[in-house]
Amino acid sequence: MAPYNRHMARFEKSAGFIVFVDPDKSHPEREFLLLDYGKFWDYAKGHVEKGEDDLTAARRELVEETGITEIDVIPGFAHKIEYFFRQKAKGLIHKQVTFFLARAKSRKVTISHEHAGYEFLPADAAVERVTYPSSRQVLKEAIAFLVQSTK
C-alpha cells in the first residue's frame, strides 16, 4: 500500500462530545457514553457544516445521534485528533475531529439510525471498549482532565 500523501487527500472537519454522567445511587462511579456503530465503539460526532463552529457542530451531532439536549459543557477541554482513511466514493480523506467534554443531566438516550446501541461505562471499562487508539487517548485525556479539575 502506498504511503498517504497529505496533499492529495480531501480534508474533512468533524466535532463531537465525550459525554459523561456523574455518580448516583444506582451507579457509584462517573460513567462515559459510548455509541455502538455496529463495527466499532466511539463517541457522538459528525461533520462541521458550513457556517458552524466546532462547538455548535458537536452540539447538533449530539442531539441528532443521542437525543441528548441538556448538557453542561466542561470549560477548558478541547482535543483534536487527525487521521487518514480511504472511502470508495471520495478516495483518501484527511479527517480532523475536535472533541469537547460534557456532563449529561440524564442517562436518557435515543440513538439514531447510525447506531446499533449505546452504553454508559465506568472510566476503565470505557477505555477498554472504545475501538480506535486515537479515541482511547482522547478519553484518557478527558478522564485525567476531570480528575485534575476536581482536585
* Residue (of 61, 47, 65) closest to 109 by Cα position: 65
Expressed in angstroms, the distance from the first to the final Cα of the chain is: 48
**6 has a pLDDT exceeding 60:** no
A 10 A CB-CB count for 71 gives: 20
Query: What's the pLDDT score for residue 151?
Result: 61
For residues 84 and 36, the model is more confident at 36
Q: Is the pTM for the entire model greater than 0.85?
A: yes
Other C-beta atoms within 10 Å of 121: how many? 19
**Each residue's pLDDT tens digit, 41-87:** 999 999 999 999 999 999 999 999 999 999 999 999 999 999 888 88
The half-sphere exposure of 79 on its side-chain side, counting CA atoms within 13 A, is 19
Amino acid, single-letter form, for residue 147: V
Strand 10-21 and strand 91-104: pairing? parallel
Domain 6-121 has CATH 3.90.79.10: yes
Of the ranges 17-26, 35-44, 84-93, 101-110, which one carries the lowest mean pLDDT score?
84-93
Question: Chain-centre distance of CA 117, in angstroms?
Answer: 15
- For residue 12, give the nearest of 89, 105, 68, 75 by alpha carbon: 89
Task: Examine the pLDDT at 24 and tell me if it is beyond 60.
Answer: yes
**CA-to-CA distance for 117 and 65, rounded, in angstroms?**
11
- Where are the domains positioned within the chain? 6-121
Nearby residues of 8 by Cβ (< 8 Å), 6 or more positions away: 91, 92
Question: If you compute the radius of gyration of the chain from its CA atoms, what whole number of angstroms results?
Answer: 16
